[in-house]
Amino acid sequence: MLRGLPEIVALLAFLTSVAQCAGIPTSNVHAPGTHVALQRRPSPARNTSEWSAWALAQRLSLEAKYAVGANSKHDRRASGTNLISNQNTDSSYFGSIAVGTPPTSYNVILDTGSADLWLASEDARDSLPEDTLTFDPTRSSSYAPLNASFSIAYGSGSAAGVLGRDTVQFAGFEVTDQVFGVVADVSPTLLDTPVSGLLGLAFGGIARSGAQPLWQALLAAGALDAPLLGVHLTRFVNASDARAVAPGGALALGALNASLYAGAVDYQPVPGGARGYWTLEMAGVSVQGSPLDLASDAVALAAIDTGTTLVGGPADVVAQLYAAIPGSAPGTGNYAGYWTYPCATEVHVALRFGASNVSWPVAPADFRLLQADASTCVGAFFALSARSTAGGGSPSWIVGDTFLKNVYTAFRAAPPAVGFAQLSAAALAMNGVSGAPPTPTLNAPEVTASGLASGADRLRVEWFPMLFAGAMAGLRLSGWWWLW
C-alpha cells in the first residue's frame, strides 16, 4: 500500500529544488474544500430612534440595490475557503481579501447580491469610522489606474471614485489585473469598522463597473474544482455574550463543505438561466403552518443575497403574513413597511423555492428583528415598495441573512442554480459560540489567474503550486483544512 511513498518523496524533493532554483515562491497548499472565514458583527447598543432609523435605511437600501420601489437608482483546478466574521449580532457578515504588491489585507462584505469589488481610499477618510483601513494605490507596485469613474448608489448613501487594476487574493486564489473601485466619496452610513469595502459575488452582467467579478475570472480560467460557492452563516442574535466581531461561518469557493450540511443539496434552477442576480422562483410562503396566497404575485423572483440582513417581499403577501399573527400591526414613520407583533408570540415562517416540495423554516429568533418596547417586537420580514415599472426583471423578494442563517446555501454557476441543505450538527454547534475572529488573508495563493476580460492576456494560470498539490494528493488526509 505504501510502495509508492519513496517515489512521492523524491518527487516532492525534486519539485522543491525546482522552485528554489527557479525563484518560484512556494506556498501552503490546502486540500479541496478549504474555506474563507466569515465574521459577524454584533449589534451595537441603540435607542428606539436609532433602531427606527436603521430599519428605514435597510428598506431603502434594498429597494435601491435591486431597482425596486420608489427608491430605485440605478485544467488545473482547486477550491478554497474564506472564513467569515459575524458583525453586529448577525447584521452583516464579512470576509478578508488581500490587495496589491506587497499584499495588504482588507475586510469586505461578501455580497451575492452585487457584482462589484470596491475599497475605500484614504481620500474618503473624513467619512469613515476612525479605525477603517483604507486602500492606498501608491503603496502597491502592481496597481494600475484606469481612465474611468465608478459609482454605486444605495437608499442609505452612495460610494464613488475611480476604477483601478491590481492583484487580489481571496480564499487561497490570486487574480492579477482585477478591476475594482477605489472609492474617494462614501456616505458615512455605508461602512462600519473594521470593514473597508465590498466584494460582489453575483454575475458580471450586473456589475456597475463593467468588470468581470473575481470569482468569475477564476471560473473562466478553469481554476476551480467546481463552479460552486458554498455559504454557512452563524447565529448570534440570541447570544447574550456576543462580541462586536465573532466567528461568522465560512465561504467555500470551488467546492462545498460537506461537514457543514446534512443530506442532499436541494438545487433549483435560476429562472431562464439568467446570469445577473442569484434568483429563484418564490413558490411558497407559510406562517404558523398555513400557506399564504401568492396568486397576486404570479412572477415572483427571489434574490438570494448574503449582503442583506432581512427579507423583503411584495406588500400584499407580507401583509397576509402578519395578518396570520394575532396582535400584529403595520409600522409607522421610519418603521413604515415593517410590522410589529407581540414578543410573546413565536412566529414560524417557512419558504419554498422553484419546483421543490421542501419548505425551509426560519427560526423564531431570526424572525424577531428587534424589541421595540417591553412587549412589542418588530419582524424581520418587511414590505418592499411598489415594484419598479422600469422593467428589467427586478426581483420582488430579497432573501437575506434572516433566512440564510437557517440553511447551508450552494450557489452553482453552471448551469445556474441555488441550492439549500439542512445544517449539520457541527454547523449548528457554532451558533453563539464566541471566539477569536479569523486572521486576515495574507497567504501565498494556490492558483493565479488574470482578471482581464478580453485579449490574449484574458486568463493566465500559474501552474506550479497546483503541480506541487498534485504530488501531495497521494499523501492528503481526508477532511477539510480551515484557514484562520
445-454 pLDDT, tens digit each = 656 677 664 3
- DSSP code of 89? T
- Host H or E run for residue 161: strand 157-170
Q: Which residues of 113-146 are buried (b: 16+ CB within 10 A; e: fewer)?
A: bbbbbbbbbbbbeebbeeebbbbebeebeebeee
**Do residues 236 and 245 lie in contact, with contact meaning Cβ atoms separated by under 8 Å?**
no
Lowest pLDDT segment from 62-71, 172-181, 262-271, 309-318: 62-71
Backbone phi, then psi, for 161, in 5-degree steps? 180, -135
Q: How confident is the model at residue 40 (pLDDT cuts 50, 70, 90)?
A: low
Task: State the pLDDT at residue 446.
Answer: 57
Instruction: Give, rounded to a whole angstrom, the gap between the first and last alpha carbons of the chain.
Output: 34
Q: Is the pLDDT of residue 217 over 70?
A: yes
Q: How confident is the model at residue 458 (pLDDT cuts 50, 70, 90)?
A: very low
Q: How confident is the model at residue 39 (pLDDT cuts 50, 70, 90)?
A: low
Q: Is the pLDDT of residue 67 over 90?
A: no
As a whole number, the mean pLDDT across the chain is: 80
Question: Can you spell out the DSSP letters for 341-366?
Answer: EETTSPP-EEEEETT--PPEEE-HHH
Q: How confident is the model at residue 247 (pLDDT cuts 50, 70, 90)?
A: confident
Q: Is the pLDDT of residue 164 over 70?
A: yes
Please identify every residue annotated as catalytic: 111, 305
Q: How confident is the model at residue 38 (pLDDT cuts 50, 70, 90)?
A: low
Q: How confident is the model at residue 241 (pLDDT cuts 50, 70, 90)?
A: low
| Among 31-45, 155-169, 206-220, the range of highest mean pLDDT | 206-220
- Please give the residue that has the higher pLDDT: either 469 or 235: 235
Amino acid (1-letter code) at residue 305: D
* DSSP H helix total and E strand total for the chain: 8, 27
From CA 80, how far away is CA 441, in angstroms rounded?
Answer: 12
The model's pLDDT over 377-397, given as tens digits with 9 standing for 90+, comes to 999 999 998 654 234 468 999
Task: State the pLDDT at residue 143.
Answer: 98
Q: What is the mean pLDDT of residues 271-289?
A: 94
**Do residues 446 and 250 lie in contact, with contact meaning Cβ atoms separated by under 8 Å?**
no
**Do residues 1 and 216 lie in contact, with contact meaning Cβ atoms separated by under 8 Å?**
no
Task: State the pLDDT at residue 156.
Answer: 62
Q: Which residues of 171-198 are buried (b: 16+ CB within 10 A; e: fewer)?
A: bbbbbbbbbbbbbbbbeeebbbbbbbbb
Q: Is the pLDDT of residue 284 over 90?
A: yes
From CA 54, how far away is CA 48, in angstroms rounded?
Answer: 10
Whole-model pTM?
0.80
**Do residues 51 and 334 lie in contact, with contact meaning Cβ atoms separated by under 8 Å?**
no
Q: Is the pLDDT of residue 70 over 50?
A: yes
> What are the chain's domains?
32-74+77-475 (2.40.70.10)
Q: Is the dihedral of CA 234, 44, 36, 451 positive or negative?
A: positive
- Please give the residue that has the higher pLDDT: either 102 or 247: 102
- Host H or E run for residue 5: helix 5-22
